Amino acid sequence: MNPELLQTFLKIVKYKQISQAADSLYITQAAVSNRLSRLESQLGVKLINRVKGQANVTLTKYGRRLVPIANEWMELVQETANLKELANYDNLTVISSVDINTSLLSLLLPDFMEDNPLLRYTINTGNTEKIYTSIENGTADLGISFNKISRYQVDSRKIGEERLFLITGADSDYPDFVTTTMLSRSDELFVPWNEDYVNWHLMCWDDSIKPLLQADGAVQVPGYLRFPKAWTIIPESCVQIMAHLEQPYRVLQLLEEPPALKLYALKKKDRHLKQASIDRLILQLRSAIYKYHQQQQNHEA
């Protein structure tokens, strides 16, 4: 069945006038009438009732029956066209924490997309458990996490590190160089980044004292830096995003330097269909993360 004829029929149904159907299709009324006649001839039935002197038309019983069939047919035509277009692209689903998505990936992925416009990305957000589960059950192709957990179906490899920075509000009266003893736990905006970080944190502060705020990521932190003594420790890329957004803050030098956050790329061990694309992305990320941190260190120097 000719999609052009069905489209014309559906336009007539929508506007109930030959003239308006013609205008919407940017063709003449004669062309609309010709297409309608061809469709009626192919089907062997009359679809439209036209009364001389009246602009509006009505559907015959055959026309009414054809409407849902024509709509379904046009949907199939569109899906087929989309399928042809999608066949030209590869798609990878990446899942990571909100902080990695909104900082590091947002800094790196746009360059990857420019380099390879035929590879499209779906970016999902989740906590550590959701990230690993999504890789295990195949709903995500690649996971990125600060946490390494032993899972039978998940292959993890280190792709880089994120330095951690101590920041306070822009108007805080802390000196530029501080020690952990100068930072009160009750003024902390605490994010438990991973097990190594939590263990280091336990050596520096009394965990029985409640922090000013405990959050699951850095994205919640900036609004709470208004408190005069508030302080937090967040990854370098998150600091860069704060600078890009012109959010006020100060970076302090901490004598007891926190351990860098290891970044892990996660993939399913038996995911063969997209294996080449996944492995290529992992290599790109590892290289880009290294170059990114080298640039930051050179800038500081």
Amino acid, res. 83: L
Half-sphere exposure of 133 (CA within 13 A, CB side): 7
Under 8 Å between Cβ of 196 and 128 = no
Locate 256 and state its tokens.
């007891």
CA distance 214 to 216: 7
CA distance 230 to 222: 10
Under 8 Å between Cβ of 13 and 67 = yes
Which structural domains are found in the chain, ordered by start?
3-86 (1.10.10.10), 90-159+263-300 (3.40.190.10), 164-254 (3.40.190.10)
Locate 182 and state its tokens.
């100068």
Quote the pTM value: 0.69
pLDDT tens-place values along the chain, 301 residues long: 688 888 999 999 999 998 999 999 889 999 998 998 999 899 999 999 988 778 888 999 998 999 999 898 888 888 777 766 555 678 899 999 999 999 999 989 999 998 888 888 999 999 999 999 999 998 999 999 999 999 989 999 999 999 999 999 999 999 999 999 999 999 999 999 999 999 999 999 999 999 999 999 999 899 999 999 999 999 999 999 999 889 999 999 999 999 999 999 999 987 667 888 899 899 999 999 988 878 877 776 5
DSSP assignment of the chain: --HHHHHHHHHHHHHSBHHHHHHHHTS-HHHHHHHHHHHHHHHTS--EEE-TT-SBEEE-HHHHHHHHHHHHHHHHHHHHHHHHHHTT-EEEEEEE-HHHIIIIIHHHHHHHHHH-TTEEEEEEE--HHHHHHHHHHTS-SEEEES-----TTEEEEEEEEE-EEEEE-TT----SEE-GGGS-GGGEEE----HHHHHHHHHHS-TTSPPSEE-SSGGGSGGGTTSTT-EEEEEHHHHHHHHHTT---EEEEESSPPPPEEEEEEEETT--TTHHHHHHHHHHHHHHHHHHHHHHHHHH-
CA distance 61 to 51: 16
